[in-house]
């Protein structure tokens, strides 16, 4: 018998268990995210107008609901909501824009960057093997098509995929993900510091960002530290070295006789607070 199963990852079985009255499928926020890393050293992706145009055209609501079946949440920031010692993340300024307005702005930015019918943009999306990752890449390719962008897809196994990213391989845009080791904004923002080659897949380098991260690391006051980190995230959302796509959500299978199970962003559930009735 199952009374509680955290990290229940069988998205395909969600509807089956939701129909079973003995269980509740609990969805909660998680300290993780899915992103598209953009090679910030490679023209024309080293132009922030191009990166912003790519971000504007991606409908993360569609990805979360239609591709991932509601098992993920649409992302509009680098740091997921609910992370400790932080408050509200620095959300994208297009969060409340309508999709058509975002598409128009994306076309304007690409035109300003010299990209258009006479000089079309070709983008290769890399992703590691997974049906959902494949479907996400296909959906994004369809979203970029109205901008005149020609998209090709390249799939590889996970080990090869991340080796290319870590070795600063020749890529355009690549799928990546991260689950925080602990609930703190630094555990996400550190990824794109210029002195972090292991996770800075985008080859991003911004001295102002690095300085804020260094200052935050030396700041003991939590409120002052949070302000510094939010300024760093605001710079990130301006420069967009990664495209935020999805916030990970935790799925837990909980029996109707288990009490004391509380949702939390790290999806950790101490049995001492639970009881079976």
Under 8 Å between Cβ of 233 and 91: no
Per-residue pLDDT at 14: 57
Measure the CA–CA gap between 240 and 233, rounded to whole angstroms: 10
Pick the CATH number of 31-250 from 3.40.50.300, 3.10.105.10, 3.40.50.720, 1.10.1200.10: 3.10.105.10
Nearest in space to 34 (alpha carbons), one of 268, 188, 232, 246: 246
Per-residue pLDDT at 4: 46
10 Å CB burial of residue 244 (0-12, 13-18, 19+) is buried
Nearest in space to 254 (alpha carbons), one of 3, 11, 12: 3
Per-residue pLDDT at 24: 54
Count of C-beta atoms within a 10 Å radius of residue 2: 12
- CA atoms 210, 214, 215, 220: torsion sign: positive
Which residues in the chain land under pLDDT 70? 1-31, 250-256, 258-274
Which residue ranges make up each domain of the chain? 31-250
Per-residue pLDDT at 112: 98
Q: What is the pLDDT of residues 44-62, one digit of tens each?
A: 999 999 999 999 999 999 9
Per-residue pLDDT at 119: 96
Per-residue pLDDT at 69: 84
| Dihedral pair phi/psi, residue 103, rounded to 5° | -65, -40
Per-residue pLDDT at 197: 86
Give the containing element (helix H, strand E) for 110.
helix 99-112
CA-CA distances (angstroms) from residue 103 to 45, 55, 111, 138, 158?
18, 10, 12, 18, 32
Per-residue pLDDT at 224: 98
């Amino acid at each position: 018998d199952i009374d509680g199963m955290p990290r229940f990852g069988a998205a395909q079985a969600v509807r089956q268990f939701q129909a079973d009255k003995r269980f509740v499928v609990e969805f909660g926020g998680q300290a993780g995210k899915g992103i598209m890393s953009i090679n910030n050293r490679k023209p024309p992706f080293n132009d922030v107008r191009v990166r912003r145009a790519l971000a504007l055209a991606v409908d993360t609501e569609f990805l979360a609901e239609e591709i991932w079946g509601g098992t993920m949440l649409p992302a509009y920031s680098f740091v997921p909501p609910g992370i400790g010692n932080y408050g509200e993340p620095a959300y994208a300024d297009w969060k409340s824009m309508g999709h058509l307005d975002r598409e128009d702005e994306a076309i304007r930015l690409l035109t300003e960057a010299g990209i258009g019918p006479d000089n079309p943009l070709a983008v290769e999306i890399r992703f590691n093997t997974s049906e959902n990752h494949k479907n996400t890449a296909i959906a994004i390719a369809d979203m970029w098509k109205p901008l005149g962008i020609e998209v090709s897809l390249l799939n590889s196994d996970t080990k090869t995929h991340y080796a290319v990213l870590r070795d600063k391989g020749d890529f355009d845009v690549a799928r990546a993900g991260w689950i925080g080791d602990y609930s703190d904004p630094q555990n996400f923002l550190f990824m794109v510091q210029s002195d972090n080659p292991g996770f800075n897949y985008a080859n991003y380098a911004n001295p102002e960002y690095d300085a804020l991260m260094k200052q935050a690391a030396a700041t003991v006051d939590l409120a002052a530290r949070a302000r510094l980190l939010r300024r760093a995230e605001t710079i990130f959302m301006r420069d967009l070295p990664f495209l935020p796509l999805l916030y990970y959500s935790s799925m837990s299978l909980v029996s109707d006789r288990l009490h004391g199970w509380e949702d939390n962003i790290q999806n950790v559930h101490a049995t001492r607070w639970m009881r079976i009735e």
